Amino acid sequence: MGSYLVVMDETEEANVALRYAARRAARSGGSVEILAVVPPQEFVQWGGVQAAMEEEAKLRAEAMVVQASGAIFEEAGIRPSIVVREGDPVKVLAEYLKGKRGLSALVLAAAAEGGPGPLVSHFAGSQAGSLPYPLIIVPGNLSEEAIDD
């Protein structure tokens, strides 16, 4: 069975996408991959301050992913693989997908309110027809019970 790729960030919809992917993987005998993207930091004139800001952002992303992976292991019995990359989220994900084999789907979640985020807009928009894998967009307002069903 393939794996379900989820892009994690600090949004609530990322947690919805992860829960959906974990449930789907558990039912199909698949696995979950988590890609955490550390966005580029604003430029700071002093190099030492810039490096400290980038390191702090990377540590925050790693902690978020470790916490999320622990939660899905407890709930679904799946230990996800974790990848942390730095850069623009759309570009990082596009590059990651180019060399990736064996995915069942890319799982993203749309925000419960407002417009879709940059990943959903990009990959469900002009790039939708060229994706090498199915794209699953989970509504961000789904409850845990609805996802579990």
* 12-46 confidence digits (pLDDT tens): 888 889 889 988 888 888 889 989 887 775 655 65
Residue 147's CB is within 10 A of a number of other CB atoms, namely: 18
**Cβ distance 68 to 10 under 8 Å?**
no
| Cα–Cα distance for residue pair 145/119, rounded to 1 Å | 25
Measuring CA to CA, how many Å separate 91 from each of 82, 96, 119, 122?
18, 8, 10, 10
In the chain, the domains with their CATH numbers are 3-148 (3.40.50.620)
| Cα–Cα distance for residue pair 92/86, rounded to 1 Å | 7
Is residue 108 scored above 90 in pLDDT? yes
62: which 2 tokens? 């790693």
Would you say how long the chain is, in residues? Answer: 149
* 42-89 confidence digits (pLDDT tens): 655 655 655 665 666 666 666 666 666 667 666 767 778 888 888 888
31: which 2 tokens? 């696995």
Tell if the pTM clears 0.85, that is, is over it: no
Is residue 113 scored above 60 in pLDDT? yes
| Cα–Cα distance for residue pair 147/120, rounded to 1 Å | 19
Residue 108: CB partners within 8 Å, gap ≥ 6?
6, 7, 17, 119, 120, 123, 124, 135, 136, 137, 138
